[in-house]
Structure 1
Amino acid sequence: MTGLRALVAEDEPYNLKRLVRLLKEQGCEVVAELEDGPAVLEWLSQGGEADALFLDIQMPGLTGLDVVEDLPRPFPIVFVTAYAEHAVKAFEQAAVDYLLKPVTADRLAKTLERLQRMKAARSGTSLAPQGNGPFRFAVKAGDGLVFLDLAKVTHFTYEDEQVLAHGGGNRYRTLWKTLAEAEAALEGRGLVRGHRHLLIRPEAVVGVKTGEFGRLLVRLAGGSEVEVSRGQAPDVKRRLGLG
Structure 2
Amino acid sequence: MTTALIADDEPLLAANLAERLRALWPGLDIVAIAANGVEAVAALHARRPDLAFLDIRMPGLTGLQVAQAARDTRVVFVTAYDEYALHAFEHAAIDYLLKPVTDARLAQCVGRLQRQTAAPPDLAAALAALAPRATAPALSWLTVGHGDTTRLVALDEVLYFEASQKYTDVVTRSERHLIRTPLKELLLQLDPARFAQIHRGIIVNLGAVAHIQRDLLGRQQVHLKLHDAVLPLSRSYAHQFKLM
Using the size of structure 1 for normalisation, the TM-score is 0.50
Larger Rg: 2
Structure 2 length-normalised TM: 0.50
